[in-house]
Amino acid sequence: MELATLRHSVSHIMAQAVKALWPETKLGIGPSIEDGFYYDFDKPTPFVPEDLEKIEAKMREIVKKNLKFERSEMKKPEALKLFKKMGETYKVDLIKDIPDEVVSIYKDGDFIDLCRGPHIESTGKIKAFKLLSIAGAYWHGIETNPMLQRIYGTAFDSDKELREYLNLIEEAKKRDHRVLGKQLEYFSMNEEVGPGLVLYHPKGAMLRTIIENYIKNEHIKRGYDLVIGPHIMKSDIWIRSGHYEYYKENMYIFKIEDQEYAIKPMNCPGHILVYKSKTRSYRDLPLRLFELGTVYRMEKSGVLHGLLRVRGFTQDDAHIFCLREQAEDEIVNVINFVIDTLNVFGFEDFSVEISTRPEKYIGNDEDWEAAQTALTNALAKRYITYQINEGEGAFYGPKIDIKLKDALKREWQCATIQCDFALPERFDLKYIGQDGKEYRPIMIHRVILGSLERFIGALIEHFAGALPLWLAPVQVIVIPISEKVTEYAEAVTRALREQELRVTLDSRNERLQKKVRDAEIEKIPYMVIVGEKEEAQRNLSIRSKAQGDIGKMTASDFVSMLKEEIKKKVR
CA dihedral 17, 18, 22, 28 (to 10 degrees): -140
Per DSSP, the three-state class of 213 is helix
Q: What is the pLDDT of residues 273-328, one digit of tens each?
A: 999 999 999 999 999 999 999 999 998 887 889 999 999 999 999 999 999 999 99
Q: What confidence category does residue 543 fall into, taking pLDDT thresholds of 50, 70 and 90?
A: very high
Q: What is the mean pLDDT of residues 348-356?
A: 91
Average pLDDT (135-158) is 91
Concatenate the DSSP letters of all residues of 326-356 into one string.
Answer: GHHHHHHHHHHHHHHHHHHTT--EEEEEEE-
Could you write out the DSSP letters of every residue in 36-60? EEEEEEE-SS---HHHHHHHHHHHH
CB 2 within 8 A of CB 157: no
CA 393 to chain centroid: 18
- Cα gap 152→134, rounded to integer Å: 6
Specify the range with the lowest mean pLDDT, choosing from 241-250, 372-381, 492-501: 241-250
Greater model confidence, 477 or 367: 477
The catalytic site residues sit at 268, 297, 315, 317, 319, 399, 445
In the chain, the percentage of residues whose pLDDT exceeds 90 is: 83
Mean pLDDT calculated for residue range 529-547: 94
Question: Taking residues 69-90, what's their average pLDDT?
Answer: 92
Is the pLDDT at 444 greater than 80, yes or no? yes
Following DSSP, what letter does each residue of 443-500 receive, concatenated? EEEEEEEEEHHHHHHHHHHHTTT---TTT-SS-EEEEESSGGGHHHHHHHHHHHHHTT
Torsion of CA 314, 457, 354, 292, to 10 degrees: 20
Q: Can you give the pTM of this predicted structure?
A: 0.85
Q: Residue type at 268?
A: C
Neighbours of 346 (CB within 10 A): 18
Cα separation, 166 vs 164, in Å, equals 6
Q: For residue 99, is the peptide bond before it cis, meaning its omega torsion is within 30 degrees of 0?
A: no
Backbone angles phi, psi at 446, to 5 degrees: -160, 145
**pLDDT tens digits, residue range 128-138?**
999 999 999 88
Question: To the nearest whole number, what is the mean pLDDT of the chain?
Answer: 93
Lowest mean pLDDT among 229-243, 351-365, 371-385: 351-365
Please give the pLDDT value at position 403. 93
The CA distances from residue 217 to 34, 390, 421, in Å, are 38, 36, 29
- CA-CA distance, 397 to 399, in Å (whole number)? 7
Q: Which residues contact 468 (CB under 8 A, 6 or more apart)?
A: 346, 525, 569, 570, 571
Q: What is the pLDDT of residue 393?
A: 86
Closest among 5, 43, 4 to 25, alpha carbons compared: 43
Q: What CA dihedral angle connects 554, 558, 559 and 561, to 10 degrees?
A: 140
569: region left, alpha or beta (phi > 0 left; psi from -120 to 50 alpha): left
Q: pLDDT class for 390, splitting at 50, 70, 90?
A: confident
Out of 355-359, 452-456, 518-522, which region has the weakest mean confidence (pLDDT)? 355-359
Task: Output the pLDDT for position 482.
Answer: 92
Q: What is the dihedral of CA 130, 135, 141, 147, to 10 degrees?
A: 130
- What lies within 8 Å, CB to CB, of 163 at 6+ separation is none
For 171-222, write each residue's pLDDT tens digit.
999 999 999 999 999 999 998 999 999 999 999 999 999 999 999 999 999 9
**Side-chain half-sphere exposure of 352, counting CA atoms within 13 A:** 17
CA 177 to chain centre: 11
Distance separating alpha carbons of residues 156 and 80, to the nearest angstrom: 34
Alpha-carbon distance 427 to 523, whole Å? 50
Q: Evaluate if residue 1 carries a pLDDT over 60.
A: no
Residue 410 has pLDDT above 60, yes or no: yes
Q: Please, what sign has the CA dihedral across residues 233, 237, 241, 242?
A: positive
Before 468, cis peptide (omega within 30)? no
Q: Which structural domains are found in the chain, ordered by start?
A: 3-158 (3.30.980.10), 181-229+264-462 (3.30.930.10), 476-568 (3.40.50.800)
Do residues 127 and 158 touch, judged by C-beta distance below 8 A?
yes
Share of the chain above pLDDT 70, in %: 100
Number of H helices, E strands in the chain: 18, 28
Q: What is the C-alpha to C-alpha distance for residues 142 and 315, in angstroms, rounded to an integer?
A: 29
Task: Choose the weakest-confidence range: 136-145, 495-504, 535-544.
Answer: 136-145
